[in-house]
Chains A and B, each alone.
Chain A
């Protein structure tokens, strides 16, 4: 079993409260791991830690068998190029236009690329998402749904090998929800690793290869989707019944 990212015995404490408590898990290469849990269970924190955005107090995070903390600047650069993150609240850079938001990671990782090629790539990815809005506006001028779509485009512009999606369906309408799901399925078929924090039953049923259920910063259950669905743990069943409309 090959892991894109692996977190080992990670513990994160903030203001005396354990956000992650001795958590270990592997995110299988080319597969989709769905994270589930009640609010405040630590799923977002898990994602940020696995993506190397949040540093653990103890334990370590490996990306393609390299400890993220110990990576050189060049290794970090390569790792970040292979990774995309869609934040729960879009997290667009407020002082840039939508276009500049999508272009910045591209300009940073493909230095010296002509402006026309960047514009062509952005037009291509906007077409993939069926996004027809004017991108020359600041985030505040977009609806929250549009901001989320721009956040998707920004995360996918570099064709990442691992994609973290924190609440992927939050704020977007049904049409975009379906469109995004199709794109994610396509990416997964192309070998992209997906890590999804969601309670959306359609997304979970269509994407999940592995499910991790969390509670109060701890992993309650993890394993292949079929195995976790059959769990007899009341908390796990409670979380899954909400997400998958189980009895």
Chain B
């Protein structure tokens, strides 16, 4: 009789401890995100000195500029696929013009922000988590603290801004290539009239589509920057923790971006 009671008590204790640990970690993460936003505000209001601008420019170059070609390839391929497959299928049922709202829905509202986010997670999310993890292990963070340089203000805020701004720009770029660039690709396979294509596209594109896309890219950028840097800082002492935290940063970023995407889409339809 005693054994099941003991096991139940042990299970409840485990559950309680895990809950407390999870709640504590969540509170810590919330505090971290709050601190980033507070310091970002100071950075933008020029309350903080300009010593983080170099990091901001470097982050923009790495996250934004260097990812342009990957985004171009993905968006061109995706746009061309939708036009070629969609048109041939929809024409058969007499709904050829439906390809435009489908293009907008897939590229502008859904996959544009999401695929851009995935590219940024894979490139910059891992890089940031790894770099910060290494900085912790090699005591670089402690060196900043020793001089009174706040690591969040100096290292994280410029990265947060760099990733978020890059994410918004890359999403626009994805849309331009996906919607217009794919038209050029299609010309080699199934010629279309440029005027007809652009007019139809613009007639279906609403401000709400553009707003939804921009909002998603902004939120995804913030999520990726916060998650990657958070897990970078979670490295404590050992270099073996760096890849573990980088994996966590990537997987959590994916999950959070997908959840945020679902939530925004839900709000959009409500």
Contact = CB atoms under 8 A, between A and B. Distances in A.
A51 B146 contact: yes
A152 interface: no
B233 interface: no
B192 interface: no
A80 B143 contact: no
B139 interface: yes
A80 B138 contact: no
Given A87-B139, A91-B140, A94-B134, A104 B51 contact: yes
B16 interface: no
21 contacts: A48-B142, A51-B146, A53-B142, A53-B145, A77-B148, A79-B148, A85-B142, A91-B142, A91-B143, A92-B143, A93-B135, A93-B140, A94-B140, A95-B131, A104-B147, A105-B149, A108-B49, A108-B147, A108-B148, A108-B149, A109-B147
A81 interface: yes
Given A80-B147, A89-B138, A94-B140, 20 more contacts: A48-B142, A51-B146, A52-B145, A53-B145, A83-B146, A84-B146, A85-B143, A85-B146, A91-B142, A92-B140, A93-B135, A93-B140, A93-B144, A94-B135, A94-B138, A104-B147, A104-B149, A107-B51, A108-B49, A108-B149
A231 interface: no
A17 interface: no
Contacts of A84: 146
A143 interface: no
A88 B134 CA distance: 16
Interface of B: 49, 51, 131, 134-135, 138-140, 142-149
Interface of A: 48, 51-53, 76-77, 79-81, 83-85, 87, 89, 91-95, 104-105, 107-109, 111
Contacts of A80: 146-148
A108 B138 CA distance: 22
Contact of B146 (A53, A92, A95, A109): A53
Contact of B139 (A51, A81, A89): A89
B8 to A, nearest CB: 26
A87 B142 contact: yes
A108 B49 CA distance: 8
Contacts of B144: 93
A111 B142 CA distance: 22
A183 B144 CA distance: 24
Contacts of B135: 93-94
A105 B138 CA distance: 18
B138 A91 contact: yes
B132 to A, nearest CB: 11
A87 B142 CA distance: 9
Contacts of B134: 94
Contacts of A108: 49, 51, 147-149
Pick the most buried of B135, B140, B149: most chain A CB atoms within 10 A of its CB.
B140
A104 B140 CA distance: 13
B147 A111 contact: no
Contacts of B138: 89, 91, 94
Nearest to B145: A53
A111 to B, nearest CB: 6
Contacts of A111: 49
Nearest to B236: A14
B237 to A, nearest CB: 9
A85 B149 CA distance: 13
Contacts of B51: 104, 107-108
